[in-house]
Amino acid sequence: MGLLDGRVAIITGAGGGLGEAYAKLFAKEGAAVVVNDLGSTVNGLGASAAAEKVVAEIVAAGGRAVSNGDDVSTPAGGDNILRTAIKAFGGVDILICNAGILRDRTFANTSEEDWDLVVKVHLKGTYCCALPVWKWLKDHGRSGVIIMTSSTSGLFGNFGQANYGAAKAGIYGLIRVLSIEGRKYGIRVMGVAPNAITRMWTDVPGIGDGELDPILSPENVASGMLFMASDLASDHSGKVLAISGEEISEVKMLMTEGFHPKGPYTAQDVAAHASSVFFPADLKRLLPKN
């Protein structure tokens, strides 16, 4: 018995890296998988048959899978991805929004094209894929799980990733809103901030040109994703997990006790109550390690 027996999963950007690891593990655990991938490079150019290769390996291992090469960042692409699942397997139970690209620049050097394309693939792409699946689950009275990919770059910030971080922060907001709306329909919405060495790291000095640290392999993120997609996490929605082979932790937005003036106040009053307004320095353990 697998954790996903009888389920149908759509996984975008599954032609390599994290998505490939998710697809293979989900298939091993009994899911029928739609492997979506446009086959583009990390910066969003070109195309290849990456999805077909992953499907062939899943089928050779005894699993069930079909490929899809639609563009996640268009409404038509999102609709076609869902139609692929319905045509091949009769429906969908799980959606993993994983597809993404990078165009890293310092903010002053970020072109409008760099901004628009990264936001389109990540944030709009998540919307375009989630909306048809959401409507199908709702209209068919079928509970399901949607897992969206955020990032510590959006949740905490990271140098040179203004476009990527903004898109990933937007996805966090979408996770929170849909987890509230989904309660009525039995749709769980979760988020992941993964940490694994994939082809997106190839230009990072000291990482892309070195050997893969096994602890940071995509497979070590896939096990956490399997947990979130399965009934083992049935009590959880609206939460984001930072997942790697080194750590699995919930990332959560918090508020301090705050300053409550109960009426007109001055800027000096805020300064005088700074210890209540800001988090104390001894909570550094909650921040990303530099």
Catalytic residues: 164
3-state secondary structure of 187: strand
Smallest CA-to-CA distance from 196 within 50, 21, 37 is with 21
At residue 47's C-alpha, the angle toward residues 74 and 166, to 5°, is 50
Segments of 181-281 assigned E as strands = 187-194, 240-243, 248-251
Cα–Cα dist 17/240, whole Å: 20
DSSP string, 20-63: HHHHHHHHHTT-EEEEE-----TTS-----HHHHHHHHHHHTT-
Q: Could you tell me which residues are beta bridge partners of residue 121?
A: none
Amino acid at site 268: Q
Cα–Cα dist 140/131, whole Å: 14
Distances (CA, A) of 27 to 31, 34, 149, 155: 5, 10, 20, 30
3-state secondary structure of 173: helix
